[in-house]
Amino acid sequence: TKDKIQQMLDAYPAKTMKNRRKHIFIKDSLQGEQHIEADTRTVPGTMTNRGCCYAGCKGVVLGPLKDMVHVVHGPIGCSYYTWGTRRNKADADDDGKNFINYIFSTDMQESDIVFGGEPKLEKACMEAYEIFKPNAMTISSTCPVGLIGDDVHAVARRVQEKTGMTTFAVSCEGYKGVSQSAGHHIANNKLMTEVIGKGEKEVEGKFKVNILGEYNIGGDGWEIGRILDKIGYTVISVMTGDGSYETLKNANQADLNLIQCHRSINYIAEMIETKYGAPWMKVNFIGVESTVQSLRDMAKYFGDEELAEKTEEVIKEELKEIKDVIAEYREQCKGKTAFLFVGGSRAHHYQNLLAEIGIETVAAGYEFGHRDDYEGRKVIPTIKTNADNKNIESITVEKDEKNYKVYLSPEKYEELKKEIPLGEYKGMISDMKDGSIVIDDLNHYETEAIVEMLKPDLFCSGIKDKYIAHKMGIFAKQLHSYDYSGPYAGFKGAVIFAKDVSAGLNTPTWGYITPPWKISPVLEGELGGEG
């Protein structure tokens, strides 16, 4: 594999080769800690899978908040891109407000670029307010807005003054930072300063949690909610899948913050801890064992005997229901290999679930993960800042003396930290086998080269590269959108995932496609004098 990776890199111009070689390695525990370069600029022209800052801010973090109207100030394409494609599902709460099936755009034209788009933006916000009466409103900036200097924040203030509705703008122009990741950070900051802690009602419940970094793709959040409800938890808010402005306002009242996708939301978790005191804990509800482990960790945190008993009872009941079905799918999938390439956490989260159905991950990577997503949270202090990440505002919050609560004594926190992932997460590399490939910011050329090199049975990625794999005769499953299926989280989700993967791998269709390496040789040369 090492030689083949070198061959793949050798095809690049020298400067690109030097760059890309830092983003790829073969896992080898004998070498101790292995480092990867991540969250740095993509080499132009390499056909990256990455998206933009606006996609991360509006598309990922803000967009799923259902009772709000999210106005996009920009050309229509930016809105169209984030219209319904991410499959973050939502049902209206009692107030009946759910606007996620709409897209709101100022549809900027050339004249707005030349003469300024603020009047049009204000008009659009007021029109959306009059028609929909949302609980709150956001305005997202796209690239041209930053270039022409429209003051979206002033417009938001005017709309708020006129309507009395919370309205805030985010300067998440697409070109900021190096990927979607910049947009996550910008959205986290705003939700912290404009929404969280603004609630006035006290939330009832004995074991109150928020689920952070859960976007209800294909209904994942609903399955997690079902399990937590059954055990007796009160989920105050979900950030942000099927989430709402109304519930998010009270997020500061939770006793514990659960973090599913830390890449997109660790900033809020940390800020809540500083400001309101509630600790955060890493969970993973993808995969049966990971779900069981996360539930047990939660019970340990609360240290309540009845809760611990109920947790075990629910685990037993749920496992009984799915055990045999999973075993059946395992029989159908075992021995297969997978190549995972997803945004910033799923390439890691799905490895246990795949292993549970007998599939080994032989290569994995993130589009925009940071070094800590690969190497673990401990490396954060060693991450170098550069012009791109310095460009993204990092806010600091202070202790809110009135609403701050102490949940654990420092001694208890340290004691628990030895047993459960409090304020901590491992990186993806530690869970991968020696010999597997780790790759950051994969591009089209490398996708083809690695698929050809490893010939995995399953390629898990997104819409941009799914059909590259299909054309090479390899089953590809979208781990972003779940290909119109889901949920894949929790216990019931694991069964649906196993069923979908098994069906995809075992369909006779693949027998009708001849991959390119079966038509012409992958390697050319002479062996024993013969070609």
Considering the rule CB under 6 A, would residue 185 count as an interface residue with ligand HCA? no
Q: Which is nearer to ligand CFM, 86 or 208 (CB)?
A: 86
Size of the site for ligand HCA (CB under 6 A): 13
Q: What would the DSSP string read from start to end of 216-257?
A: -BTTHHHHHHHHHHHHT-EEEEEEETT--HHHHTTGGG-SEE
85 binds, among ligand HCA, ligand CFM, none (CB under 5 to 8 A by kind): ligand HCA
Considering the rule CB under 6 A, would residue 488 count as an interface residue with ligand CFM? no
Q: Provide the minimum distance between the beta carbon of 345 and ligand CFM in the complex, in angstroms, as a whole number.
A: 4
Write the CB contacts of 431 (distance below 8 Å, at least 6 apart in sequence).
348, 351, 352
d(CA 258, CA 255): 10
Q: Which of 135, 180, 252, 447 binds ligand HCA (CB under 6 A)?
A: 180
Considering the rule CB under 6 A, would residue 51 count as an interface residue with ligand HCA? yes
Q: Which is nearer to ligand HCA, 253 or 443 (CB)?
A: 443
Q: Which is nearer to ligand CFM, 182 or 315 (CB)?
A: 182
Interaction residues for ligand HCA, span 476-505 (CB under 6 A)? 478, 480-481
Catalytic positions are 52, 55, 86, 184
Q: Which of 97, 282, 477, 480 binds ligand CFM (CB under 6 A)?
A: 480
Considering the rule CB under 6 A, would residue 140 count as an interface residue with ligand CFM? no
Considering the rule CB under 6 A, would residue 183 count as an interface residue with ligand HCA? no
Considering the rule CB under 6 A, would residue 344 count as an interface residue with ligand CFM? yes
Considering the rule CB under 6 A, would residue 261 count as an interface residue with ligand CFM? yes
Considering the rule CB under 6 A, would residue 64 count as an interface residue with ligand HCA? no
Helix (H) or strand (E) run with residue 137 in it: strand 136-141
Instruction: Judge whether 376 and 400 are in contact, CB under 8 Å.
Output: no
Q: How far are the Cα atoms of 26, 51, 395 from residue 58, in angstroms, in the given order?
A: 35, 12, 19
Write the CB contacts of 497 (distance below 8 Å, at least 6 apart in sequence).
353, 357, 488
User: CA neighbours within 13 Å on the CB side: how many for 80?
Assistant: 5
User: CA neighbours within 13 Å on the CB side: how many for 525?
Assistant: 4
**Phi and psi torsions of 22, nearest 5°:** -80, -10
Instruction: Judge whether 54 and 81 are in contact, CB under 8 Å.
Output: no
Considering the rule CB under 6 A, would residue 243 count as an interface residue with ligand CFM? no
Considering the rule CB under 6 A, would residue 38 count as an interface residue with ligand CFM? no
Considering the rule CB under 6 A, would residue 180 count as an interface residue with ligand CFM? yes
**Contact set with ligand HCA (CB under 6 A):** 51, 55, 59, 85-86, 180, 343, 462-464, 478, 480-481
